[in-house]
Structure 1
């Protein structure tokens, strides 16, 4: 395990070094928030992919594959399809608006009250997404290295908070490039084939699994519909996603590199489901299915390779955590604070907001231990409260400010009631 631990430590130090380097590139508010709106196709596709593929996408999809089989791929697939839609059909409109946050659109279309109200919802959503990834990071460190959960939160989450605060979107973009490469190699090219090999090969794995594990709808229609409503629709209106769209240097980059990122997410979901299916063969009974990823990694990988795959999982988690923290901080600094202070926020204000959002994320992560429940709450609130006002703002000329505010208020109450 020493080799594995050294590999992970080297990865963590590299993330901090990149954050320090990126701090010198973030010289203006636009640099800090949207990387100067200057990302080319390869950087844009990589960074957009890593935003989506976090704790639930990595640990959660493997768990779904373990429990439900091939149909576990639908979680990532719905998010990938959502990215394709926003890239091909909405990105041109979004880039032309020159926004920093989703909720700016509501002020332009309605009034400042609509922007402020929606900002509160967006902050809750973004913080919950960040919490999911930090909790998953701690779960992996605990399952592989035996590090206590709270220590895993502080170590893994602390690294994300530091590099995100230092360089903002430039830190996140540069670390995402490294994370994209590591997670692609680790999950797709190492863990998936080696776990299937551990299960005896493809034919042996298929014959050992229940027939239902090969069905595309074994997960059940209620979950499939829920994934569509929450994740397909939610991906299209999340601040973390829009903020990445704003970093594209052109409409062509946003459209076609974004669509490629969506396809990558679908492939990642297929790999995660297959890993879970293989694990079901050589670890048929787990006391806690939330530990499926860690147990599969331990059982199917040799020393050294295991460390690289753990780094790959941490890369997926940290990239999403940093993007969500940044989304919450940007909304606070650009939407909430100016409404309270009556003046625009500076670069330093945005950096302080990122630090505060990160500390709040760490605090919330210490009291939660599940990767799906916080994400479900986040996306329910986002889609339930924001979808109709945003669609109205973009496409419906007769939509009114009063209607938008009533929509958000009543939808929040209904959503919270049904969640309860």
Structure 2
């Protein structure tokens, strides 16, 4: 009962922040990018809360349960991606002062490429929002009240509502609070778990030695690490959620500095969550991997403490769900619907964007009720997105030097994205990495042919 009361209070606080932020989110700048006034602590908190979602809690604890310390790579590749983003791209992105990633792509290439990018992102991000809803169902299912499916519906209603009310203003503020709760909850849970196991030595004595192998292990070899680094790590270098945070920064220095600080803070969280999963493997070997973290909470902690840590887990999932939903709905309303039904002023953009939030929230809930695993859902979405979008966008920052063209970029997006989709639908080994190669080859080959054709035509 204590846990249920804490969760209910948490939901009420989130809704209250959304209502309070509604008055400040009047214009498009306020709703989409929080007025572009956010300082480093707010950007760090929001990036951190966005990154530590269902995959980094339920999913990564499950990886720790299955294969040990190498499970931490799910987040560590993100830290590497953030370092590249902070050092080489964050300042460039912030100076453009846009709302969405497809708008950036249009500046790099043309409207065709921007529209194709927008469609691919919206489709992929429905899967990513769905993964957060699945994670919420797994977390709240341990309360013993209602089924996971019912909790998925409740969770969706809550995060869609406060995103709808306050937009980015509400999200930035709730994310800072949630990132603090996440840190405290994860490390409190880790400390209590290790105490129960008799410390690090007790954990080592209770699991096979390969669970402590790092950076690779018999279950996670170099090829798997490279695959994860490219398919997941690159989404941190070029990602609509990362860029939506950068667009909120007060200036380009804040954008770069906040991104690098986030990269540092992600590292201890990666290992802490993975070790919690390893502890669950020691104490509860008969459970399914993605039940590792919720089981630790329900079985080891008092109702009050369990409720607090459960709220921290829910914070992690909620903060990713609201950001990914707002990113996808902004892209749908501005970059897809806006292409065909442009509005003359900002007053027409906001109502359309709010309808997009509701529509995509419902779509994500339907997908979540159909799917099962958090990591599998995310890997599917990341593979399709990374294979199609990443290389053209990175090349677009150096377009003149690399001599890439809009036609080449469009061919890379369609060819790479299609190959990534086929690799997942048909489970073809190594085609997910091959899809990136296909994207790169098409980008430069078609750009070369396009330039030759244009020069001959003249």
What TM-score does the superposition give when structure 2 sets the normalisation length? 0.89
What CA distance in whole angstroms lies between the structure 1 residues aligned with 2:257 and 2:105? 27
Where does residue 228 of structure 2 map in the other structure? 227
What CA distance in whole angstroms lies between the structure 1 residues aligned with 2:389 and 2:406? 13
Distance 1:63 1:146, change over 3 A: farther
Shift of 1:200: 2.1
What CA distance in whole angstroms lies between the structure 2 residues aligned with 1:94 and 1:112? 18
Where does residue 326 of structure 1 map in the other structure? 326
The answer as to whether partners of 2:333 and 2:353 remain within 8 angstroms in 1 is yes
SS at match of 1:304: helix
Residues 46-85 of structure 1 mapped to structure 2, 5 A cutoff: 46-85=45-84
Shift of 1:239: 0.7
Where does residue 194 of structure 2 map in the other structure? 196
The answer as to whether partners of 1:130 and 1:321 remain within 8 angstroms in 2 is yes
Bigger shift: residues 352-361 or 126-135: 352-361
Where does residue 173 of structure 1 map in the other structure? 172
The answer as to whether partners of 1:81 and 1:263 remain within 8 angstroms in 2 is no
Distance 1:132 1:70, change over 3 A: same
Task: State which structure, 1 or 2, has the greater radius of gyration over its C-alpha atoms.
Answer: 2
Task: Tell whether 2:419 aligns with 1:414.
Answer: yes
What CA distance in whole angstroms lies between the structure 2 residues aligned with 1:220 and 1:302? 39
What CA distance in whole angstroms lies between the structure 2 residues aligned with 1:172 and 1:108? 27
Where does residue 357 of structure 2 map in the other structure? 354
Residues 29-178 of structure 1 mapped to structure 2, 5 A cutoff: 29-178=28-177
Shift of 1:125: 2.1
Task: Tell whether 2:284 aligns with 1:283.
Answer: yes
Where does residue 310 of structure 1 map in the other structure? 310
What TM-score does the superposition give when structure 1 sets the normalisation length? 0.96
What CA distance in whole angstroms lies between the structure 2 residues aligned with 1:193 and 1:144? 22
Q: Deviations over 1:89-144 (max 9, x none)?
A: 21110011111111112212222111111110111222211111111001111134
Shift of 1:267: 1.3
Aligned pair count reads 417
SS at match of 1:39: coil
Q: Deviations over 1:140-192 (max 9, x none)?
A: 1113434312211111121110000111101111111221111111112x111
Where does residue 205 of structure 2 map in the other structure? 207
Shift of 1:252: 2.0
Where does residue 25 of structure 1 map in the other structure? 24
The answer as to whether partners of 1:199 and 1:279 remain within 8 angstroms in 2 is no
Structure 1: state its 5+ residue gaps. none
Task: Tell whether 2:304 aligns with 1:301.
Answer: no
The answer as to whether partners of 1:198 and 1:282 remain within 8 angstroms in 2 is no
Shift of 1:392: 2.2
Structure 2: state its 5+ residue gaps. 427-458
Bigger shift: residues 2-11 or 77-86: 77-86
Residues 345-384 of structure 1 mapped to structure 2, 5 A cutoff: 346-384=349-387
